[in-house]
Amino acid sequence: MKLSVSSLVLALLFSFLLETSASTDENFIQCLALHSGNDSISKLIYTSSNSSYSSILKSSIRNTRFSTPSTPKPQVIVTPLLVSQIQETLNCSQKHGLQVRVRSGGHDYEGLSYASPVPFVILDLINFRNISVDVENNFAWVQSGATLGELYYWIANKSRTLGFPAGVCPTIGVGGHFSGGGYGTLLRKYGLAADNVIDAHLIDVKGRFLDRKSMGEDLFWAIRGGGGASFGVIVEWKIQLVPVPSNVTVFTVNKNLEQNATKILHRWQYVADKFDTDLFIRVILSAVSSSQKGNRTVQASFNSLYLGGKDKLLPLMQKSFPELGLVSEDCTEMSWIQSILYFAGFPSGLSPDILLNRDPSITYFKAKSDYVKNPIPEVGLEGIWQRLLEKEAAAALLILSPYGGRMNEISESSIPFPHRAGNIYKIQHLVYWTEEGTAASEKYMSWIRRLYDYMAPYVSKSPREAYINYRDLDIGTNNISNTSYSQASIWGTKYFKNNFERLVQVKTVVDPANFFRNEQSIPPVSY
């Protein structure tokens, strides 16, 4: 059978691209071997011909949407053990035209740390996970490849009365979490993870190893909330540990629509950001089975941490939020580290050793985020209920996290995280599914997009704000080969508001060629 001219051209082009790709891979690997001065680095390099390539690639992929045959794969995965090997990887990538995606091993909502439309290398920091806790001086050094679970475990291993204000999911990677802000149950008392970073070690585009003093305050400002992968490879963070009581109190009170959930949640919006800063009550909204057989209802789960005993919590709740009807039997006192297990959803009685398990849960999901500045009226909440009762929302969640307290006190320009005073709570919209295939993914993503459109009148405006750690490519993407300020500002102002221009200025100075980039990276601009 004869090939058409166009088919022959395509076949030749494909063959050329494969040969070019293979040649680039080989040249890159040879460059690493040459600069390392020995062959030890070869044990840290994985290509598609290596039997461990697939397992290394999938080791921290949590979203199955980005673990398919059509997902772009890296030419090479490098898992360095030494800072010098990170420097060599950056140097050789630039020499041979390969983009670098830095992965710290946690929850990447849009797969931007392990997929790219152009030839790329994954710099996987799985081996950079050392944690050193100094109880006497209340700080710790934690490497970017560690998980929050590992960090919490080692803090608690040293002290029952020290903690750190970061996220509730123990399999989150420290590197991405800190660099995007990072929040959890302690944010009303102590702010964000990034608010409590006091030093960092970073390798810049020139391969220089920098600390806070040598990188300068502008760059140190940018990496705490501005998305650290836009500015270099952050190897390690120095964090300020915070005091926590030897015993805290937790509770979860569930209310469905038949139990007055609408009015209780409506009231929560008026008081949650004004509670004593020792009290954090988030709300998780989902559809559940109704007591009426065959029916579904919406449940609001009021999920709380109080930094103290229930003897003080109960009168505080009676005064501030009596509508919930909290009673002593709802409350459980435990250590701070046990509260970490509680919020992560582990059964009671488990050892904190479970936090050292790095294996993430894997499923299909899509997420979005919003900030709420004024309480949503009851009629608006009822519209949310209608959408949660649709069949595509069987495994959907809305997580409402209250602000106020310390978040109101820190200036929105103190670090690039701008969502401070004026926000009463943040919403994370999530939908999960298990069905395979593009049609299924489109069905569920269409549902969450409709929900997001419905929410528009009730959330922040001009810009409609979003949380950078909940990456959302629906907001906007850069043309990766020709990024412009005007293009990037479409989504950049939603993530960073007035901080975006300063971030661009820092990016222009530290990475003028835009080597550290992805679909939502911050572009450099000549002024």
**Correct CATH for 131-244 of 1.10.290.10, 3.30.465.10, 3.40.50.300, 3.40.190.170:** 3.30.465.10
Residues 314-345 have pLDDT tens digits of: 999 999 999 999 999 999 999 999 999 999 99
Residue written as token pair 């990072």: 182
Band of residue 14 on the pLDDT scale cut at 50, 70, 90: very low
- CB distance 199 to 234 below 8 Å: no
Residues 248-292 have pLDDT tens digits of: 999 999 999 999 999 999 999 999 999 999 999 999 999 999 887
Return d(Cα 164, Cα 156) in angstroms, integer: 10
Residue 454 is a catalytic residue: no
Band of residue 490 on the pLDDT scale cut at 50, 70, 90: confident
Q: What is the pLDDT of residue 107?
A: 83
pLDDT over threshold 50, residue 2: no
Residues 352-390 have pLDDT tens digits of: 999 999 887 889 999 999 999 999 999 999 999 999 999
Residues 305-315 have pLDDT tens digits of: 999 999 999 99
- Given the residues 152, 306, 470, 495, the one annotated as active site: 470
pLDDT over threshold 50, residue 5: no
Of 127, 109, 100, 95, the closest CA to residue 24 belongs to: 95
Band of residue 503 on the pLDDT scale cut at 50, 70, 90: very high
pLDDT over threshold 90, residue 460: yes
Q: What is the pLDDT of residue 212?
A: 98
Maximum C-alpha span of the chain: 85
pLDDT over threshold 60, residue 7: no
Fold of 5-124: 3.30.43
The residue extents of the domains of the chain are 5-124, 131-244, 248-333+364-456
Instruction: State the virtual CA torsion across 79, 83, 84, 89 in degrees, nearest 10.
Output: 40
Token readout for 186 is 């302690």
Please say whether the structural domain 248-333+364-456 has been given the CATH code 3.40.462.20. Answer: yes
Other C-beta atoms lying within 10 Å of the C-beta of residue 19: 10
Residues 168-199 have pLDDT tens digits of: 999 999 999 999 999 999 999 999 999 999 99
Return d(Cα 339, Cα 17) in angstroms, integer: 53
Q: What is the pLDDT of residue 182?
A: 97
Q: What is the pLDDT of residue 161?
A: 98
Q: Which residues contact 195 (CB under 8 A, 6 or more apart)?
A: 165, 224, 406, 410, 414, 415, 417
Return d(Cα 420, Cα 117) in angstroms, integer: 35
Return d(Cα 53, Cα 466) in angstroms, integer: 34
Q: What is the pLDDT of residue 48?
A: 93
Return d(Cα 449, Cα 367) in angstroms, integer: 10
Average pLDDT, integer, range 72-91: 96
Residues 199-240 have pLDDT tens digits of: 999 999 999 999 999 999 999 999 999 997 899 999 999 999
- Where does residue 206 rank: exposed (0-12), middle (13-18), buried (19+ CB within 10 A)? middle
Q: Which residues contact 390 (CB under 8 A, 6 or more apart)?
A: 447
Q: Say what the pTM is.
A: 0.93
- CB distance 177 to 167 below 8 Å: yes
Q: What is the pLDDT of residue 4?
A: 45
pLDDT over threshold 50, residue 394: yes
pLDDT over threshold 50, residue 102: yes
The tally of CA atoms less than 13 A away on the side-chain side of residue 373 is: 13
Q: Which residues contact 269 (CB under 8 A, 6 or more apart)?
A: 372, 375, 376, 424, 425
* Strands 332-334 and 396-402, bridge-based pairing: unpaired
Percent over 90 (pLDDT), the chain = 82
> Is the backbone peptide bond immediately before 463 cis, with ω within 30 degrees of 0?
yes
Token readout for 504 is 């661009």
Average pLDDT, integer, range 53-78: 93
Residue written as token pair 């070019």: 20
